[in-house]
Structure 1
Amino acid sequence: MKMSLRKTLGVASLLSLSLAAASQAHAAVCSYTLNNEWNTGFQGTVSITNNGTTAINGWTVGWSYANNRITNSWNATLTGNNPYSASALNWNSTIQPGQSVTFGVQGNKNGSTAEIPTITGSVCSSVTSSSSVPTTSSSSAPSSTPRSSSSSVVSISSSSQASQCAAVSQCNWYGTLYPTCTTTVSGWGYENGKSCISTATCAAQPSPFGVVAGCGVTSSSATTSSAATSSSSSVRSSSSSILSSSSIATSPSSSSVASVSSSSVVSISSRSSSSLSSSSSSVTSAGPRMDNPFVGAQWYIDPIWSAKAMAETGGSKVANYNTAVWMDRIGAIAPTDGSWGLRDHLDAALDQNANVIQVVVYDLPNRDCHALASNGELTQGVEGTTRYRAEYVDVLASIFADPKYRSLRIIAIIEPDSLPNLVTNLSTPACQQAADATHGYVPNTRYTLSKFYPITNVYSYVDIGHSGWLGWTDNFGKAVTLIGDAIKGATGGVNSVAGFVSNTSGYTPLYEPFLDSLANSAFPGSGGGTQTRQAKFYEWNPHFSEVSFVTAWRNAMISAGFPSNIGMLVDTSRNGWGGANRPTAQSTSTVLDTFVDQSRIDRRAHRGNWCNQRGGVGERPQVAPVAGIDAYVWVKPPGESDGAASLELSYDPQDPAKGFDRNCDPTFTNASGTNTGAMPNAPVAGRWFSAGFKQLVDNAYPPLE
């Protein structure tokens, strides 16, 4: 009788499984969207939407073209050569009911038109297709996905991950070492043809950006790296799970970039950021801190930002650069709306084999006290301080301290625009409140630094505004004292920070090549009687550019008792000022203001203009570009708005404290008597601004390849 019962249950179980498999076999709508087309090529997106009632676990789809051929893909493992087959990566293999997974392809039209094929597969119940971007008249294709000459990926099973690897050589890309399979990086995107500087054997996955086609996998007796010996919770099952240039979160069409839906974002990863149950409150040492944490860096590429960039014309030229992740409210740490939180980004960094990730810590009570566009959720006082410390800083520190992330060098950008406001803007009531000795910026910043200091893989860099703000001699001296004393009061004293960061979200150039040498001397047309810095644009400020400013700041801090190896960062995401209007020589005018205006590369009407300026992407992230500067970094992700251009555009349901600042209004003349220079139609701060992104890409300097 028992045997009969067991047989009955077995049949029922098999029947149940077969029905589940049948329901899953035809559970999704599979669609192909033509996003972009140019003379010789195209870019398309394949979407798989689960309209069933059970999760899809694993998927493979296929299609073919009559004439088109694929040259590149991301977010899926692509095989075949027309017909093509695409299968799931480790991190996007599960599609929950009502959710979607997307992946992208780029190809050659082969003298034909861009085709829209039918997507087939066992998961597809129906197919749709569309063309969402009109054909352009450009004569050349956008750059192929950077940093890899192929979208092929060598898979390594988790059981052999620590003992097998690709034969590699390490090639320098802006100071970062990435393993590849060849001795020269022929066709490797931005650094095309860069020669190798050393050879090595990898100890875990091949390259965080995919491996060159044709590379084999060989056994190795090399010692394992920290990535290979990390806790089992962070071991990845295959190299195809790496979020690389061949697996970047697929971009939505340009028409939908400004509002990526929750469902499309959550489909990028099956991780849940709504729970902090796995966070650790204990501090686990990751070893001694590095002098410069960017040396030997493998930079994290934020898939969310990268997807938005990829969707824009020319966006592939920048989409694979590192940008910071902004924790600008308590809810951003572990969102409940399906968007990515801090753990999602840290886990993705592990997926990529990255070891450097930038996180902006930005939620002080009375945040952005002198402006309105980025006001925060917390107000000055007991409640604001309590929430900032317990619900924000403590939670960040707990996540940072999780042993799972000990291999990551976490670059914490500490509270942009906060302490500098206490130097220059105490006439503003909100800034007066922020000067409170118990609940103000200084005690709360000290608390943050004290919480992060014991976590040895966290490197805190305190924001110091920029040269056009604190560069004047009086401001400079006061700022060195105030900011220096604030840091000295933290648990680790002067050792609480790795350094300082300037130009966060700013537009001030690294150099003024035709003016820097005249910053403390007379301009050539004056006969020696008029200082160049007397010009209206500089208003006696002796620091015309950021390298001058941060070099002086570093020297002043060392004189004030900070370590001699203290480092500086400069945000170069928007300070390139390229394009047709970039001066090519020093002016010959004998009129001071004309001489300066014709010679300067900073094209703003006033140095104080800060909102959605018509700048350009600057130097790409790179390590130790100048003595004393740890790195050029992109703290402000290009394409994110500084603030709404009008009151009607200023409401943010996620962060309703943000307001309308007239300095973001392109029709407004500010207190300096100059127009704001802000771009029109910009959305609320932090939201995607397509026109602003295109402006930055088109105006990049050095020009983007």
Structure 2
Amino acid sequence: MTTSLRKTYGLAALLSLGLAAVSQGAAAGCTYKITNEWNTGLTGEIIVTNSSTTAVNGWTVGWQYATNRVTSSWNVRLSGTNPYSASDMGWNGSLPPGQSVSFGFQVDKRGGAAEIPSVTGSICSGTVTSSSAPSSIPTTSSSRSSTPILSSSSSSVINNGGQQCNWYGTLYPLCVNTQSGWGWENNKSCISRSTCINVVGGSSSIAPSSSSRSSVIPSSSSVATTSSVAPSSRSSVAPSSSSVATTSSIAPSSRSSVAPSSSSVATTSSSVPSTSSSIAPSSRSSSSVSSVTPGVRLDNPFVDARWYVDPIWSAKAQAETNGSKIAGYSTAVWMDRIGAIAPTDGSYGLRDHLDAALAQNANVIKVVVYDLPNRDCHALASNGELKQTPEGSARYRTEYVDVIAGIFSDPKYASLRIIAIIEPDSLPNLVTNLSTPACQEATDPTHGYVANTRYTLSKLYPITNVYSYVDIGHSGWLGWTDNFGKAVTLIGNAIKGATGGVNSIAGFVSNTSGYTPLYEPFLDSLANGSFGTGGGTQTRQAKFYEWNPHFSEVSFVQAWRTAMIAAGFPSTIGMLVDTSRNGWGGPNRPTAVSTSTVLDTFIDQSRIDRRAHRGNWCNQAGGVGERPQTAPVAGIDAYVWVKPPGESDGAASKELSFDPQDPAKGFDRNCDPTYTNAAGTTTGSMANAPVAGRWFKEGFQVLINNAYPPLN
């Protein structure tokens, strides 16, 4: 069916529904409303109104279909399998006289027409119902007809900032382009791009053809962002001190860690907060209002955030065991190649995600800008499509950055706060990995990392609803004093050379796709102290930390922020930390400090980071970390999920390493679980992992099982 035919069908169906709605009679206490319809299903909303003169505390409504069936719901406790019973969730149960509350649901029409049932319940004034239908089917900006887009609504506020969408029922997985062809990933029922069929609970749904995509977008202000390519492979280089062990890999993307000289001294120390989910006040203003005055940027763009939830990633997560526990959280959209901006294969592009964010009534969406020439220069797993040549630089600027900036600047997206994560693992590689030829090439003053990063920041700075955060690796890479100082100078000068100077950015982001924990609860307070009673040995001399004074991310980012302010950046500068995989929970998480008097044993028994070496970066057995939330501690704008949990860091073998969509990616031995790296340890990578960015079912389950704080 062509797009035009699909639109004609949808309009005819909606017109007929509109006539049916009129025939139902006048509105009473409850309204059944069709908010969107497509050939196989619809999304609906029931509006509950207290039409009495006294307050209502708790409500329940019911309805029944002849053929239609509910497949998912939000902002309500749903029970029954037709008839259905829907009850308030507590937070939306109190209704003063004349006030209304609504909840939403998705319906499989099961081969029939859309039905308009009667809504029953004491609050509905008997059995009277009023129904209505939308006047038109929304279309995407790319002229592909959009399918089920559920209205966005937040259910509960977590930690004063993050919000969680409450889903009940079953979400159908989406039709996506997988490595083996079109279909729902890891589901053999999908057979082709035009007729993807998935059987769930005895019913089937047919995914749209390449001209349209099925979008299950939960109604939550915290529902999340996109799928895209996993960050490249990070690598770590041996330190300059002869007393420090070396390694050949680090956090995802091409991050590297160079250990400092033995004379390194600590830059900061950090106290260990409790493991509760309460949020400490931020030193940045939390009084910003949720609305944005045109041309004026917020101090912290995450204040009063309604987070975008990527429907593609969310459906994949929902389809996994216990995946529904995190499927409603916000993840970032990765623009990892030119073709990702406006795909021709029916998958989501940049405009599609931005349009979906508007449909969700979200106001914050995170987009990763990740396609520099010679990208991931010190590793192989996420090498990019562009080479470090004048031609590669020109393509990056005109075909990639200019196009993204043009889309961001579209007035229709002015209500969105677009968080741009700028080029993971680029500038940090210029601090530590210049011995690698590809990184040396990236120092070119005209076409290298610095020049192109300045170009990107200069293009985005005039767009006042775009907030750029520049990647700074992580504490296990730039945390050593020598690396830290050089990085502050190099990255600071790179930004100062952009059009907006120090005002070109909203802040910095650390731990992108990384595993470094926010805190080491039994070790952070000892990071800059002596071990044992003699005083001659420092705790950071342990083999795992290699003299690095920063054992965890909060210590690192707070020190970084202080150093950048001292270097001339505004005092309002903020930090982000990717917490998507750094929870390190599960049964092996230490519960008390070690009593060993041997330093390395003491550290190994006390640390929650269970990697064999801190530089191991590829598909580690970490765990989902802190949920996305605003202003968790002083100086940090938000904890965010940049790396979508479940996406691979890189292929576990050469045989699994080819990506037909992005053939520049290579096989990195640091993703091979049988490989012993330069640090003399095995990589710790999980077996059977697919190419970077592809869905890794087993890896997702490990992250769920090891989540910390634990998932409810």
TM-score range for the pair, normalised by the shorter chain length:
0.5 to 0.7
Cα shift readout 1:345-372 (whole Å, capped 9, x = no counterpart): 0000000000000000000000000000
Does the residue aligned with 1:359 lie in a helix, a strand or coil? strand
CA RMSD of aligned residues (A): 4.2
How far off is 1:149 after superposition? 3.4
State the match for 2:703 in structure 1: 696
Indicate if the aligned counterparts of 1:299 and 1:356 stay in contact, CA closer than 8 A.
yes
The correspondence for 1:513, drawn from 510, 513, 521, is: 521
- Are 2:698 and 1:667 aligned? no
Distance 1:53 1:588, change over 3 A: closer
- Paired residue type of 1:255: N
The correspondence for 1:149, drawn from 63, 74, 77, is: 77
How far off is 1:146 after superposition? 7.2
Does the residue aligned with 2:537 lie in a helix, a strand or coil? coil
- Separation in 2, partners of 1:401, 1:654: 28
Does the residue aligned with 1:482 lie in a helix, a strand or coil? helix
Distance 1:201 1:610, change over 3 A: farther
- Are 2:28 and 1:57 aligned? no
State the match for 1:393 in structure 2: 401
The correspondence for 1:250, drawn from 172, 176, 180, is: 172
- Separation in 1, partners of 2:506, 2:633: 17
State the match for 2:388 in structure 1: 380
Indicate if the aligned counterparts of 2:519 and 2:554 stay in contact, CA closer than 8 A.
yes
Question: Normalising by the residue count of structure 2, what TM-score does the alignment of the two structures yield?
Answer: 0.67
Cα shift readout 1:641-673 (whole Å, capped 9, x = no counterpart): 000000000000000000000000000001111
- Are 2:508 and 1:504 aligned? no
Indicate if the aligned counterparts of 1:250 and 1:307 stay in contact, CA closer than 8 A.
yes
How far off is 1:400 after superposition? 0.3
In structure 1, the gaps of 5 or more residues are 1-26, 28-48, 61-85, 96-100, 105-117, 125-143, 153-180, 188-194, 218-231, 274-283
- Separation in 2, partners of 1:287, 1:216: 46
Indicate if the aligned counterparts of 1:511 and 1:544 stay in contact, CA closer than 8 A.
yes
Indicate if the aligned counterparts of 2:652 and 2:690 stay in contact, CA closer than 8 A.
yes
State the match for 1:414 in structure 2: 422
Distance 1:267 1:627, change over 3 A: farther
- Paired residue type of 1:493: G
Does the residue aligned with 2:530 lie in a helix, a strand or coil? coil
- Separation in 2, partners of 1:238, 1:573: 29
Larger relative contact order, structure 1 or 2 (CA cutoff 8 Å, min sep 6): 2
Judging by fraction of residues, say which structure has more helix.
1
Consecutive aligned runs of 4 or more in structure 1 exceeding 6 Å deviation: 52-55, 101-104, 205-210, 212-217, 236-240, 246-249, 257-261
State the match for 1:680 in structure 2: 687
Cα shift readout 1:316-352 (whole Å, capped 9, x = no counterpart): 0000000000000000000000101001000000000
Indicate if the aligned counterparts of 2:528 and 2:538 stay in contact, CA closer than 8 A.
yes
Indicate if the aligned counterparts of 1:326 and 1:361 stay in contact, CA closer than 8 A.
yes
State the match for 1:339 in structure 2: 347
- Separation in 2, partners of 1:87, 1:316: 26
- Paired residue type of 1:149: R
The correspondence for 2:530, drawn from 505, 522, 528, is: 522
- Paired residue type of 1:428: T
Distance 1:151 1:87, change over 3 A: farther
Equivalence map 1:79-158=2 (5 Å): 90=36, 93-94=38-39, 148-150=76-78
State the match for 1:172 in structure 2: none
Indicate if the aligned counterparts of 1:500 and 1:568 stay in contact, CA closer than 8 A.
yes
Does the residue aligned with 1:538 lie in a helix, a strand or coil? coil
Cα shift readout 1:390-419 (whole Å, capped 9, x = no counterpart): 000000000000000000000000000000
- Paired residue type of 1:287: G
- Are 2:310 and 1:302 aligned? yes
- Are 2:652 and 1:645 aligned? yes
How far off is 1:256 after superposition? 1.9
Cα shift readout 1:262-281 (whole Å, capped 9, x = no counterpart): 545756994799xxxxxxxx
Indicate if the aligned counterparts of 1:583 and 1:598 stay in contact, CA closer than 8 A.
yes
- Separation in 2, partners of 1:655, 1:272: 24
Equivalence map 1:534-549=2 (5 Å): 534-549=541-556
The correspondence for 2:301, drawn from 288, 293, 305, is: 293
Does the residue aligned with 1:455 lie in a helix, a strand or coil? coil
What's the % identity of the aligned pairs?
A: 73
The correspondence for 1:463, drawn from 468, 471, 480, is: 471
How far off is 1:527 after superposition? 2.8
How far off is 1:287 after superposition? 3.3
- Paired residue type of 2:619: N
Indicate if the aligned counterparts of 2:512 and 2:578 stay in contact, CA closer than 8 A.
yes
The correspondence for 2:604, drawn from 592, 597, 600, is: 597
- Paired residue type of 1:413: I
- Paired residue type of 2:395: R
| Number of residue pairs aligned between Structure 1 and Structure 2 | 528
How far off is 1:301 after superposition? 0.6
Distance 1:330 1:53, change over 3 A: closer
State the match for 2:374 in structure 1: 366
Cα shift readout 1:53-108 (whole Å, capped 9, x = no counterpart): 99752799xxxxxxxxxxxxxxxxxxxxxxxxx99852x5157xxxxx7999xxxx
Does the residue aligned with 1:378 lie in a helix, a strand or coil? coil
Does the residue aligned with 2:374 lie in a helix, a strand or coil? coil
- Separation in 1, partners of 2:558, 2:6: 60
- Are 2:91 and 1:185 aligned? yes
How far off is 1:286 after superposition? 3.3
Cα shift readout 1:124-167 (whole Å, capped 9, x = no counterpart): 9xxxxxxxxxxxxxxxxxxx977653599xxxxxxxxxxxxxxx
- Are 2:402 and 1:480 aligned? no
Indicate if the aligned counterparts of 2:332 and 2:641 stay in contact, CA closer than 8 A.
yes
- Separation in 1, partners of 2:337, 2:408: 17
- Separation in 1, partners of 2:681, 2:367: 34
